[in-house]
Amino acid sequence: MKALNPFRGNIRTIVRRASAFSVRRGKRKELAIGFFDLAGSTARKLRLGHLEGLRAMSVHNETCGQIGRLFEGEVIKTLGDGVLMIFADPLEAVLASANIKFGLAKFAKLSTKIGLTAGLVETVKIGSRRDVLGLAVDRCSRLESLASAGQILIDGPLFDAVRSFLKDYAMIRISAPTIRALAGIGETEVREVLVEPVRGSLLRSSKEAFQLNEGGRLPLSEKVAFLEGTTSEIIEVG
């Protein structure tokens, strides 16, 4: 019996064409980077089917992009049910993330996992596709992989950039740091951004600083207020 040939087409030509794509280097800038990943997507597909999974992915990615642009963010690429964005202003990245998290939860019943960092990145073009390179991008990806559904995690560089400005936003609090070993990165200081929704926009300014107890956790009274506030509107999507 003749064995079947598993190869099709001129593989050498295909590989050579793929290798011909040029990589054009661009400018290096200090930027904030955000990874947004739809939580529970595999379980959703198994439970509700692939069409529902595709719908949820589309809502997630489109919401991230539209809200991100309101805060001067730019979508660099989508990765299935994930989005990579850059922001010139790290504070805008935090505010965008808070709006994305609650917009998805309130209006679409979806959860996202978010990692944010800041650092030097280089923009490149691979063929016609734009991308960003740098250790900060890798660090951001590792942070997002640590996050649970509905969490916004930041590292030391992002926290240092926004800590004083966040005191103008009474509804945003930052947890005490923990040290986590990120694959390929090493030990990294990680904090969680906690957001208490208020009626209206997160952009409303206040001089009231956030408070943490000695263990780095919110007091019980503030946790109760936080949970009760999750029904309040943050931003209208769509």
- Residue 8 domain-assigned? no
- Residue 53 domain-assigned? yes
pLDDT top residue among 46 and 113? 113
Q: What are the tokens at 183?
A: 């694959």
- Residue 112 domain-assigned? yes
State the angle between helix axes of 41-48 and 50-70 in degrees (0 to 180), rounded to the nearest 10: 140
Which helix (H) or strand (E) element contains residue 92?
helix 90-107
The count of structural domains within the chain is: 1
Confidence of residue 212 (pLDDT cuts 50, 70, 90): very low
- Residue 6 domain-assigned? no
How much of the chain is helix, strand and coil, in % rounded to 5? 40, 30, 30
Is the pLDDT at 228 greater than 90? The verdict is no
For a pLDDT cut of 90, what percent of the chain falls above it?
54
pLDDT top residue among 156 and 128? 156
C-beta atoms surrounding 183 within 10 Å? 9
- Residue 12 domain-assigned? no
Number of residues written out for the chain: 238
Nearest alpha carbon to residue 95 among 43, 171, 42, 199 = 171
pTM, to two decimals: 0.76
Check residue 213 and give its pLDDT.
37
pLDDT top residue among 208 and 89? 89
Rounded CA separation 17/19 (Å):
5
